[in-house]
């Protein structure tokens, strides 16, 4: 981290700080962990700045060789260094650590929690989402007066933890699974970036103020690399002036090209700076955008102390995109049947079992609905050999809002043979505002 830069946090939160302090206290070499955090923050700062007037398009700014250090770098930045804090990454990470911090007193009494935390802190270890999810679940049950104990790792795989008391007449075993984005999803996002790069070059060559909105009807891997550029040039060179923009439809996609509202961006930065992100995209295209569904290309004067923000802008364009191809939607809406079979094998020795499966919500509501319905059908039709009595599906939707440092929504589908849930609230993240609605979070506007 640049030691010349003054460090000032985004907010002081006692629960988040308690979680970070606890992890440092259980780590056998806390000085080494602090150094790893500093390295991860330096990596973020170096890679979040624009290069040759090209701003980073995505928040893939975590050290791949030490992901947990990257996670803790965001937690530390939230508390101590706003330059190293990323609004999207923070919304995916900080809420879980706040929840862990809420239960520090309980964690100190849970057998095996320290061992589980040390395993989480290993560099080059398992993806941290799984270990964090387990600690969150342990805290949630402990806060409702269950006796919680992590089951030690053994040669034969078993559940993550054991519950007692809480009115139970027998032990409950709890298994937690945190699903990661599929290979298809990662590849599709990479394909979208490859389609955008030639468009970004065109924006800089022509100094364009353009909003290109596209809905792909085929898989992105089959779209020609210069497809977006060709559509943009057709609009630029058209001899017909259309007040409503330039629509198109062909075998690859359909879309509309209009002038971006650059004046809205300039009005916003007249007396303040603006981060290159979802708010800028909203100003340029005139509607809210979800993370992962837009790309920005611009030339601007970056703020000296934090180049993620701009103080003035010469030109800017935004591409908003989605893919409604059946192949894409079906691949992204993968169901959980294979995970259920794996979990069932782990629970075979449990007297009674509870399962929590967590996953990120899809970027578009249509795919999120399809995935949810398929997951529920997989749960209903699965015939467990173990005595699993409750299964909860948790969908997490991290949001970048214009008024908060982090926001995450949790939607839960509770499935049980017990008649009522063990937890008063089936959500794992505590302290959130409950919305009195049956509508999934992805159908609700950001708070």
- pLDDT over 80 at 438, yes or no: no
pTM to 2 decimal places:
0.92
Buried b (16+ CB within 10 A) or exposed e, 186-225: eebbebbeebbbbbbebbbeeebbbbbbbebbbbbeebee
Are both 195 and 298 inside the same structural domain?
Answer: yes
pLDDT class of 58 with cuts at 50, 70, 90 = low
Nearest to 63 by CA among 87, 80, 84: 84
* Mean pLDDT of the 233-246 span: 90
Cα–Cα distance for residue pair 148/189, rounded to 1 Å:
40
Residues of the chain with pLDDT > 90, as a percent, come to: 72
Are both 344 and 369 inside the same structural domain?
Answer: yes
334 or 103, higher pLDDT: 103
pLDDT of res. 154: 73
Are both 265 and 307 inside the same structural domain?
Answer: yes
- Other CB atoms within a 10 A radius of the CB of residue 323 amount to 24
Its domain, for residue 203, covers 184-323
- pLDDT over 80 at 437, yes or no: no
Mean pLDDT lowest for which of 38-47, 91-100, 130-139, 330-339? 330-339
Are both 195 and 313 inside the same structural domain?
Answer: yes
Are both 251 and 274 inside the same structural domain?
Answer: yes
Coil vs helix vs strand at 320: strand
Cα–Cα distance for residue pair 403/423, rounded to 1 Å:
31
Cβ-based neighbours of 443, under 8 Å, separated by 6 or more: 365
pLDDT of res. 241: 79
125 or 15, higher pLDDT: 15
Residue 223 has phi, psi (to 5 degrees) of -85, 130
Cα–Cα distance for residue pair 337/268, rounded to 1 Å:
48
* Mean pLDDT of the 286-304 span: 93
Are both 18 and 93 inside the same structural domain?
Answer: yes
Are both 176 and 202 inside the same structural domain?
Answer: no
Nearest to 343 by CA among 180, 119, 178, 190: 178
Are both 175 and 191 inside the same structural domain?
Answer: no
**Which one-letter DSSP state was computed for residue 7?**
P
Cβ-based neighbours of 51, under 8 Å, separated by 6 or more: none
* Mean pLDDT of the 29-39 span: 96
Where does 179-252 show beta strands of DSSP type E? Answer: 210-216, 246-249
Cα–Cα distance for residue pair 281/265, rounded to 1 Å:
9
The verdict on residue 108 lying in a domain is: no
| Burial class for 383, CB neighbours closer than 10 Å (0-12, 13-18, 19+) | exposed
- pLDDT over 80 at 82, yes or no: yes
Q: Of 301, 323, 345, which residue is a domain's last?
A: 323
Nearest to 281 by CA among 44, 55, 20: 55
Are both 311 and 340 inside the same structural domain?
Answer: no
Per-residue pLDDT tens over the stretch 378-395:
999 999 899 999 999 999
pLDDT of res. 2: 41
Nearest to 89 by CA among 128, 35, 136: 128
- The total of structural domains in the chain comes to 3
- pLDDT over 50 at 447, yes or no: yes
The tokens of 321 are what?
A: 């995109």
Coil vs helix vs strand at 432: coil
- pLDDT over 70 at 436, yes or no: no
The verdict on residue 154 lying in a domain is: no
Return the residue matching tokens 């003035």: 312
Cα–Cα distance for residue pair 144/161, rounded to 1 Å:
15
Cα–Cα distance for residue pair 254/385, rounded to 1 Å:
48
Are both 386 and 311 inside the same structural domain?
Answer: no
Mean pLDDT lowest for which of 15-24, 50-59, 240-249, 258-267? 50-59
- pLDDT over 70 at 432, yes or no: no
Per-residue pLDDT tens over the stretch 323-373:
999 999 999 888 898 899 999 999 988 889 999 999 999 888 889 999 999
Return the residue matching tokens 């509501």: 365
Coil vs helix vs strand at 278: helix
């Amino acid at each position: 981290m640049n030691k010349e830069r003054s460090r000032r946090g985004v907010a002081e939160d006692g629960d988040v700080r308690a979680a970070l302090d606890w992890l440092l206290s259980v780590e056998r070499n806390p000085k080494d962990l602090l150094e790893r955090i500093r390295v991860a923050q330096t990596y973020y700062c170096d890679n979040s700045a624009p290069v040759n007037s090209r701003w980073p398009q995505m928040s893939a700014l975590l050290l791949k060789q030490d992901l947990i250090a990257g996670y803790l770098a965001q937690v530390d930045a939230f508390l101590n260094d706003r330059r190293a804090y990323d609004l999207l990454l923070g919304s995916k990470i900080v809420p879980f650590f706040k929840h862990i911090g809420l239960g520090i007193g309980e964690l100190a009494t849970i057998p095996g929690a320290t061992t589980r935390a040390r395993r989480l802190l290993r560099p080059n270890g398992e993806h941290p989402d799984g270990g964090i999810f387990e600690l969150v679940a342990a805290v949630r049950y402990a806060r409702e007066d269950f006796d919680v104990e992590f089951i030690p790792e053994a040669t034969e795989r078993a559940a993550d933890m054991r519950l007692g008391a809480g009115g139970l007449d027998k032990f409950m075993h709890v298994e937690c699974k945190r699903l990661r984005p599929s290979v298809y999803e990662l590849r599709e996002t990479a394909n979208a970036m490859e389609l955008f790069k030639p468009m970004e070059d065109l924006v800089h060559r022509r100094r364009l103020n353009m909003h290109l909105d596209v809905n792909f009807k085929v898989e992105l891997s089959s779209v020609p690399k210069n497809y977006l550029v060709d559509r943009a040039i057709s609009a630029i060179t058209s001899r017909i002036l259309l007040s409503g923009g330039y629509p198109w439809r062909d075998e690859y996609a359909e879309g509309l090209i209009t002038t971006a509202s650059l004046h809205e961006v300039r009005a916003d930065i007249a007396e303040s700076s603006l981060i290159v992100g979802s708010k800028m995209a909203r100003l340029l295209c005139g509607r809210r955008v979800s993370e992962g569904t837009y790309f920005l290309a611009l030339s601007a004067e970056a703020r000296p102390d934090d180049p993620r923000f701009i103080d003035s802008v010469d030109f800017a364009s935004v591409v908003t995109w989605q893919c409604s191809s059946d192949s894409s939607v079906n691949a992204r809406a993968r169901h959980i049947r294979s995970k259920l079979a794996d979990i069932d094998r782990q629970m075979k020795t449990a007297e009674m079992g509870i399962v929590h499966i967590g996953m990120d919500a899809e970027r578009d509501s249509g795919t999120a609905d399809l995935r949810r319905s398929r997951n529920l059908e997989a749960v209903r039709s699965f015939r467990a050999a173990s005595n699993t009595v409750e299964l909860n599906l948790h969908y997490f939707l991290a949001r970048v809002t214009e008024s908060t440092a982090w926001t995450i929504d949790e939607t839960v589908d509770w499935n049980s043979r017990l008649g009522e849930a063990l937890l008063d609230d089936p959500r794992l993240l505590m302290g959130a505002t409950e919305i009195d609605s049956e509508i999934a979070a992805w159908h609700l506007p950001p708070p």
